[in-house]
Amino acid sequence: MDIKLEFLMGADAIVSSLSVKAGDQVKAGDELLQYEASKGILPILAPADGIVEEVLVDQGDRIVLNDVLVRMDTDTVCKEEEAGNRSTPVKKCREEKTDLLIIGAGPGGYEAAIYAAQNGLKVILAEAKTVGGTCLNEGCIPTKALNKGARTYQDILKAAKMGIEVPHPQINMPRLIEWKDEVKETLVSGILGLLKNHSVKLLTGTARFLSGNEVIVEQEEGQVHVSAANIIIATGSKSAGLRIPGVQLPQVMDSREALSLKKLPSSITIIGGGVIGMEFAFIYHSLGVSVQVIEYLEGILPMVDKDIPGRLGFIAERKGILIQTGARVSRIENGLNQEAVVIYEKDGKEAFAVSEKVLMAVGRVPDYETLNIEAANIETRRDRRGIQVDGHMQTNRPGIYAIGDVNNILQLAHAASHQGMAAVRHILKMDGGEKQDIVPNVIFTMPEIASVGKTEMDCQKDGISYEVYKFPFSGNGKALIMGDTDGFVKLVKDRVTDEIIGGSIIGPDASTLINSITELVQFHIRQRDASEVIFPHPTTGEAISESILGLGVGALHSVNKKEEHIIHAVD
């Protein structure tokens, strides 16, 4: 409904004040604005109950007879509905109908939204916080920005070896955090622009299910009732934490708080030797902080090839990072000088670690408790650690999907993105499903780690006859120039098919090099065919070429063939 200036004595008037803004709910007779004319100051009143859609004037504007001042929605009014089969009454405000509602605007959610819009679907995207999700705002991107800062600082310290002298380099931590935030904000702005360009409607608020195709989104300005033909849940994960005494002490922080820490501590204890813990361990150490890691399991990074943790642990301890594995943390206490004391048990004895700060990095768990999935009868996994889905990412309820960390298949941002597109393709009745066994994984320690496909342990478990070859970066010219020769490239070949079925890297450029190995695995490339690919010189990629040759006639720059080449036959 258009609210116009319908009465005016004189040629024009001036808007003297505004009483409402877009999104406000008003009742019949409520004041919308005031204007000043020859007869004094007069009000414009709402003719009916409704919601203000748009205010078309500002204070001080000149208006004339029949000008549209305010647009209102008088068809949809907030009202209490009967509970029906729901546990509580629902207050409905704005109504929205859409082909696809996506809950969560992390990498999986927002990329699925864009992909769906590109394919002609009407899409609404609901996000409780900021687009980009945990990955962009509190995880992947911020940690890699700090990683870059830490690496740059170390490069400066080592530059004198090449004849480049930088006297007294210092770390300005507030500026590093500010730069990290600038990177993040640039990417957030870019995502908002992409959503707008693809006509994806963004609702900022928390969502909860009412039924299998109805969701309420709670916004600051009121509720939005969304009816959707299809729904994708992409709410991600949250920090797991430990339920032990002392976790609420001011010295204890999680990864989100660590990313905003503007004053470097002199020392830190990291509880957890997984991806998050080890990435922060190398960041803090490279920035000059004394670091110790306490891990409950018998080794760090249990999810990667068996040769990787041992090499990384050796590198970490050589740098001065202390690592305690097989250690169970029981409590955290205040020390005499307000430092944190982490008490843990190892080999049946109690020990402790003292530091200025403690970082809790014990993993992440799916985040869906506030969604009220029970209202839609959505089933979770048997272990309750994620929403159960099939190969198309569809839940037990047709038309409802769950992607990314919330289904807990793979806690990787790029896996979430790929799953989101798989869900959209299923909605559009396109062929195909999600392949979860060929997803590359990268860990940004120093050196980097990356892997894809099968490991030796996988082959042994699956009864596959395999060959393995490891080529060390110490034999690579570019790595020597970079001053980064720690690590190796390791490839796994199926001895029956001659196909390369897996690979792991620890060393320089691992995050980039893994793309080449992913293609070899994804497209079932045989070793004899891969050996014909030409890798440019001098590059770290030549280590992949050497490993490919190592699985055949032998690497050209091999030093210890016995150690690097392993054959495992299955009778």
H helices present in 77-172, as ranges: 107-118, 133-138, 140-158
Cα–Cα nearest to 248, from 366, 365, 360:
360
CA distance 113 to 371: 19
Place of tokens 């793979």: 410
**Residue 275: per-residue pLDDT:** 96
Structure confidence by residue, pLDDT tens digits, 104-141: 999 999 999 999 999 999 999 999 999 999 999 999 99
Is 537 among the residues known to form the active site? yes
**Residue 567: per-residue pLDDT:** 81
What HEC string does 244-281 produce? CCCCCCCCEECHHHHCCCCCCCCEEEEECCCHHHHHHH
**Residue 127: per-residue pLDDT:** 97
**Residue 562: per-residue pLDDT:** 59
CA distance 396 to 374: 12
Return the number of other C-beta atoms located less than 10 Å from residue 480's C-beta. Answer: 13
DSSP letters of 179-238?
HHHHHHHHHHHHHHHHHHHTTPEEEESEEEESSSSEEEEEETTEEEEEEEEEEEE---EE
**Residue 91: per-residue pLDDT:** 56
**Residue 358: per-residue pLDDT:** 98
CA distance 393 to 378: 13
**Residue 79: per-residue pLDDT:** 52
Q: Are 282 and 430 in contact (CB under 8 A)?
A: no
Q: What b-and-e string marks burial along 419-440, b requiring 16 or more CB atoms within 10 Å of the CB?
A: bbbbbbbbbeeeeeebeeeebb
Q: Are 109 and 120 in contact (CB under 8 A)?
A: no
Per-block mean pLDDT, blocks of 10 residues, the chain (571 long): 86 92 85 89 89 90 93 66 50 84 98 98 97 93 97 95 94 97 96 96 96 94 93 95 93 95 97 97 98 97 94 96 97 94 97 97 94 96 90 96 96 95 96 74 97 96 96 96 96 97 98 98 97 97 97 84 73 60
Place of tokens 């892997």: 451
**Residue 76: per-residue pLDDT:** 56
Phi first, then psi, for residue 502 (nearest 5°) are -175, 165
**Residue 561: per-residue pLDDT:** 61
**Residue 241: per-residue pLDDT:** 82
Q: How far from the centroid of its chain's Cα atoms is residue 319's Cα?
A: 29
Task: Sort strands 2-4 and 290-294 into parallel, antiparallel or unpaired.
Answer: unpaired
168, 537, 565, 568: the catalytic one is 537
Place of tokens 């992390």: 106
